[in-house]
Structure 1
């Protein structure tokens, strides 16, 4: 079992508070692309702490909610060029930095999730294993590949195999194998990395994600560290006391898309330990849609499944003098590509300049 990283309670609470606003879109793409939503949330917690504009101050490097590099962004879209996002093909968003399209949390999550799927496929080809984004035994390799690239993980895995490791899918993280693989990458690509420092960063990544994965799966309290500590207060004493309810009839909760044990407990206003105690034998990492969970005495709050906001009807705007594509994009806080996609029949070209006639009625995405 992979060790968990130590985070302070304040750090965990801050990251979770930031991520809550993006939970609908993370749940949505997890369901649509068949990747566990809890895994996506845990990656976001580690990569950007739930800040959709993380990396905005850098000209290059990883950016956005799932911290995607320009290289990964382009490579992923090239694999799914015709996939549509808000009625526009992904190929229209190939330039990550044009109008800061990377800062669109929903688009960033979509591409990040697709990248994770592609990395699983790539690792499968490189190692000969059937790597899945949803198989717990594959998670250490897949997460490390998301952070450091498939080539690095493959080299570390091969080194562990060559050393006759009985479990190379875990042992690839050992210093002898992973740091050796990092040195292979440095040599091949002529990089100036400090291999010891890079080893520390890469080797800890999976354990950091697993710490938050435990929280989102409901297997540990968000206010308690998953690592051992010297705190003498019991977990039960730290959890909020459930508010008593007057009705004595046993009630049940039906699992909806994106639910985790901890998330359900939070919806119902009870502690996860009480929810878990009322449902012995439930595998909280494998909840199924419609599954009935006992929530004790009292009437649970009305279920309100969280869904992404449906696409909005475009706004009609009459073009004014001075309204270039760039001006319109800034005025309405949308991308130039999105405006062009909705107004192909209206779009004019004067040499190398594109735009609209003054007075034309165009559609603006909302």
Structure 2
């Protein structure tokens, strides 16, 4: 029985669905605070699975976490719980410090107390897998080699700084207390159930609703794109075979500029659901760049392939087409998340920024 924190979010929700798709697994406890980006609708297909247990709560609640660990005899933890949107961290960094730093600290303390009392066999096999981001490494010049696990941390936003701090806490709890931890740093994820504040779902939904497709600055920011289901398989592999105390970078080997991504989505929509006149690319609008916008991220995922035998199965072309098709086929889910709060956020973020 494993504990997944933040399992109603984008990556966490996909991981829960992916994990329970295996009939051999014993079960899973999902602890999620259900902030704006947590969506139980994502997990509707498993809500009646007897192996699935959902608890609404905060990783910072030590007594709650301790009770769950004991009650369900947890053997491993996968920690997705985090505030994760750079733009939101710029407007309100306090929540990011509270969840990503203080929350991770409290979670580690609850887990350490539980782990230290385990008998020798379960204690040795127990794992705490902390899911992090490539943004902790900072930014890359166009000709720099991709981020490896030995790159120094140089975070440039409140979000990435808070995630870097959480990574350091996890590392320290291993080296100081012996807690058997694993850390993964992933590149930009995309795929089903992605909250539409992020680039790819925002562009898909804006395009089909006839709205502007906002691109920061010149659109030449480069990201390495990882299909979320590939990320889930990588996490399972690290959980099963990863060496305690090690960090594994997980990437898709798909470097694309933001403008390339948006134009690709427009081309797919033009072929699947064409407009009466013109192309969806006609809706592209350039807006003022955000403060401290990192120019390029790229992940060197050779360590996880070399040591654990994992590599992504999807190319960007195959993954992005699956993603667009999913959003077109799941309008009920998207309408459920397009709430007044979300619309208020979009208006606040992009209003009066058109160049």
TM norm structure 1: 0.25
* Greater share of residues in strand: 2
Greater radius of gyration (CA): 1
TM norm structure 2: 0.25
